Amino acid sequence: RSVFSISRSNAFISASVSRRLARTDPWQAIVARHSWQASSTRSLCPASARSGISIRNASARIENNRIVDNRSPSNGGGIYAYGSKLIYILDNEILNNTAGEDGGGVFGYGYRSNTAVNLSGNRIEGNRSGGDGGGVWLSRSAMVKNRILSNQAEGKGGGMFATFALI
């Protein structure tokens, strides 16, 4: 189950503060300066969600977090990001997460968009996947200036697997 899930949300979470934001985009979420770990007590998601942080069809900014030791039987052990709205994953430590399928650290799919999921400045290390992209699996997304170290995939791309992505 996810430690945190965003789905059509406008929640703002920073440190231990939680409040709603009045934004032009009513589906925006910001997550900053947290440590998301499988054993964390911050269980703010439905039991059906799987990843450390799960974002589906919502605009979000995930920044300066530790996303560690999460497990998903499907895609995106650390972060699952899917949709056509902008999702920024910036300056995080994404460590030792596991996915049964693709994207052990991060699974990013920009549905109907070429750069919906944007990764920059992250340290992605020690993640594993049962499919492709041990560290990162990307499609219709973009990434720049990330450190991708010591990840493993049973399929293609131990560090990263990308298709239709800007790298």
- Sheet architecture: strand order including 59-63: 17-20, 11-14, 28-32, 59-63, 87-90, 117-120, 141-144
What is the pLDDT, as a whole number, of residue 35? 52
Confidence class for position 47, pLDDT limits 50, 70, 90: very low
Instruction: Determine the 3-state secondary structure of 93 from DSSP.
Output: strand
What is the pLDDT, as a whole number, of residue 24? 36
Neighbouring residues of 163: CB distance < 8 A, sequence distance ≥ 6: 138, 139
What is the pLDDT, as a whole number, of residue 116? 87
On the CB side of 18, how many CA atoms lie within 13 Å of its CA?
8
Q: Tell me what percent of the residues of the chain surpass a pLDDT of 90.
A: 55
Check if the beta carbon of residue 100 is closer than 8 Å to that of residue 73: yes
Using CA atoms, how far apart are residues 53 and 74, in angstroms rounded to an integer?
13
What is the pLDDT, as a whole number, of residue 57? 85
Single pTM value for the model:
0.78
Question: Using one digit for the tens of pLDDT, what is the confidence trace for 115-143?
Answer: 789 999 999 999 999 999 999 999 999 99
Specify the DSSP element, H or E, that contains 125: strand 123-125
Q: Of how many residues is the chain composed?
A: 167
Using CA atoms, how far apart are residues 30 and 59, in angstroms rounded to an integer?
9
